[in-house]
A and B are shown apart, each in its own frame.
Chain A
Amino acid sequence: MNFSNTPSFISHGPRPGLRLTLAVAASVALLVGDARLGLMGPAREALSVALYPLQWLVNAPISAAQHASEFFVDQARLKQENAALKTRELQLSAKLAELTTVKNELAELKAMHALRSQRAEKSVLAEVLYTGRDPFSYKLIIDKGQNAGLVEGQPVVGDSGLIGQVTRVQPLTAEVTLVINKGQMVPVMVERTGVRAILYGYGGGVELRYLPVHADLKAGDTLVTSGIDGVYPAGLPVSRVTHVERRAGAAFLSASSLPVDGVYRQRFVLALETGANRPPVTQPQP
Chain B
Amino acid sequence: MDRPQELLKPVKRRFIYFTFALAILVELVPLPQDSMRWLPDFVGLLILYWVINLPSRVNVGTAFALGLIADVATAGLFGQHALAYSVTAYLALSRQRQLVMFNLGQQALAVLGLLLANQAIMVMVRMVTGAAFVGWGYFLPPLIGALLWPLLTKLLVLPYRRHSLL
- Where the two chains meet, the residues of A that have a C-beta atom closer than 8 Å to any C-beta of B are 1-5, 8, 12, 16-17, 19-20, 22-24, 26-31, 33-36, 40, 43-44, 47-48, 51, 54-55, 57-59, 62
Stretch at the interface among B60-68, B105-113, B133-141, B145-153: B60-68
A-B CB contact pairs (8 Å), 19 listed: A3-B8, A3-B56, A4-B8, A23-B83, A23-B86, A24-B87, A27-B80, A28-B83, A30-B68, A31-B77, A31-B79, A35-B77, A47-B68, A47-B69, A48-B72, A51-B28, A51-B69, A54-B24, A59-B30
Q: How far is B21's CA from A57's CA once the two chains are assembled, in angstroms?
A: 11
Q: Which residues of A contact B94 (CB under 8 A)?
A: 16
- A44 CA to B73 CA in the complex, in Å? 10
Q: Is the interface of B mostly helix, strand, loop or mixed?
A: helix
A71 smallest CB distance to B (angstroms): 21
- CB pair B72–A23 under 8 Å, yes or no, is no
Residues B86 and A20 in contact, CB atoms below 8 Å apart: yes
Distance of A114 from chain B, by nearest CB (Å): 58
A16 touches B30 (CB 8 A): no
Give complex CA distance A1, B9 in Å: 8
Main SS of the interface on chain A?
Answer: helix
Contacts of A57 in B (CB 8 A): 25
The closest CB in chain A to the CB of B52 belongs to A4
Chain B interface residue count, Cβ-Cβ cutoff 8 angstroms: 41
Query: Do the beta carbons of B64 and A23 come within 8 Å of each other?
Result: yes
A17 to B94, CA, bound (A): 9
Known: A2-B8, A31-B125, A54-B21. A62 touches B78 (CB 8 A): no
The 3 closest A-B pairs by CB, nearest first: A30-B79, A27-B83, A23-B86
Q: Are A4 and B55 CB-contacts (below 8 A) given A24-B83, A30-B82?
A: yes
Q: How far is the CB of B39 from chain A (nearest CB, A)?
A: 14
**Interface status of B10 (Cβ within 8 A of chain A):** yes
